[in-house]
Every structure is written in structure tokens, then in C-alpha cells.
Amino acid sequence: MKTLTSRQKQILEFIDGFGRDHGYAPSIRDIVKGCAISSTSVVDYNLRILEREGLLRRDAEVSRGIVRLGQGRRGNRTIPVLGQIAAGFPIPVPAADTWATAIEGETVEVSHELTRGIEDVYALRVKGTSMIDALINDGDLVLMRSTNHADNGDMVAAWLKAEQEVTLKKIYFEGDQVRLQPMNATMSPIYSDAANVEVQGKVLGVIRQM
């Protein structure tokens, strides 16, 4: 990338500032005024360069059609809070329609850093202190990736069919057995038949508010 001229940096900064102040992009003439430039063609000229450099996108013949690209502008993901998780209480694996209806309810906003671009993410509010061994407290929000697959050592929400309960544990596959390991050394792991265990989701992160 070629280094930007001071004018181009100035225009870029003006666009960002204008967006923060107004909530929409400036017009060419807004930039003319804001950067003390005397002609719209100069702005157009420099915007073409900035677009070529990949710093913004322009939609032809659209008023205020400048969209800033690059840096941390990607915004938030809105994640549905599908329900609560507590020992002995099943979590519904979200189906397409569950998803839609959940949108109406509680949601959290998280940055892309946390979800890392993963699509099927939902959140569960932890009820009770039964997960305290896993450093997860009452009221915490766990970000879950909806999946039926897990790797050794992943922290998962596991559905124990016979026991009819869900626990949040680390999972280890040992032959046709599955070991569900609490994160507290003083607690014993649960061993179960692999057929009896169904992975409902993988924990991506934890958010706690105080």
C-alpha cells in the first residue's frame, strides 16, 4: 500500500468523525466543507484513491454511499439468550424456529473477537452455583457454539440421556466410554457410555457482570 498523503488521512479521519457524530456517512460536499477543500472533484479524486487502497467502499450514484472498511469497525453480533442452564435441567438444542422466536427475547451483544466469526452461537444464563467448579458462577452468561461434535478436552454441554440431565464439563473420549471431567481436582469425573452422551454445544466463552 502506498503511503497516504496528509489530505487523504484528513479525509479518512473526517469520514470516521462524521460517522460517529451523525450515524451516517458524509456527502462529498460535507467533506469539502469539513476539510476546507475547494472543490468536490478533489474529494472525488482522493476518494477514488482511498477506495483503490481498500480503505473504503463507494456505491455508485448513491448519496452518502461511502462505507468505511478496515480496522475494528466490524460491529457487534447479537446473540440470543436461549434460556438458562442448571444441573438437571435440559437445554434445548436450538432449531431453526427456536432461533427465530428467541430473537424476540433477551439478547446480548458481543464483539466479533469473542465469537471469532462462528455462526451458530447462542448464550445461556447460568442458574445456581452448580457450575462453580468450572469457574462459572450464578448469573454468568456462557457463550455456546451449537454443535454435536467435540474434541478431547473441550468444555461442552453434555446431555446424559439416561440421567436426563445436562452438565457443563470437560469431555474426554476413552474408547467407547466418555469421561466428563469437572474442573475441580477434588471432584470425581463421571464415566458414561458413549451412546448415552450427546454433545449439545461447546463453550466459547464466559461473560460475567458484577
Partner DNA sequence: TGTCTTAGAGAACGACTGTTCTACCGGAGA
Partner DNA sequence: TCTCCGGTAGAACAGTCGTTCTCTAAGACA
Active site (catalytic) residues:
130, 169
Q: Does 33 bind DNA (CB under 7 A)?
A: no
DSSP string, 117-142: T-SSEEEEEE-SSTTGGGT--TT-EE
Least separation in angstroms between CB 65 and its own copies: 6
Site map 116..155 versus its own copies, x via CB under 8 A: ----------------x--xxx-----------------x
* Segment 73 to 92, residues that bind its own copies, using CB under 8 A: 75-76, 78
Please give the Cα distance from 102 to 83 (Å, whole number). 9
Q: What's the CA gap between 61 and 90, in Å, rounded?
A: 53
Q: Does 22 bind DNA (CB under 7 A)?
A: no
- Binder among 12, 15, 110, 121 for its own copies (CB under 8 A): 110
Q: Choose the one of its own copies, DNA, none that binds residue 61, judging by a C-beta under 5 to 8 angstroms depending on kind.
A: DNA
Using alpha carbons, select from 107, 1, 133, 99 the residue that is nearest to residue 54: 1
Q: Least separation, in Å, of the C-beta of 22 and DNA?
A: 10
Which of 155, 146, 131, 151 is CA-nearest to residue 201?
146
Is the CB of 40 or the CB of 152 nearer to DNA? 40
Q: What is the rounded (10 degree) CA torsion for 96, 92, 155, 174?
A: -100
To the nearest whole angstrom, how small is the minimum distance from the Cβ of residue 14 to DNA?
A: 13
Q: Which does 44 bind (CB under 5 to 8 A by kind): its own copies, DNA, none?
A: DNA
Q: Does 29 bind its own copies (CB under 8 A)?
A: no
Closest contact distance (angstroms) between CB of 104 and DNA is 22
What letter represents residue 186's amino acid? T
Instruction: Name which of DNA, its own copies, none residue 123 binds, using a CB cut-off of 5 to 8 Å depending on partner kind.
Output: none
Contact indicator for 47, 56 with CB cutoff of 8 Å: yes
Q: Backbone phi, then psi, for 50, in 5-degree steps? A: -65, -35
Coil vs helix vs strand at 183: coil
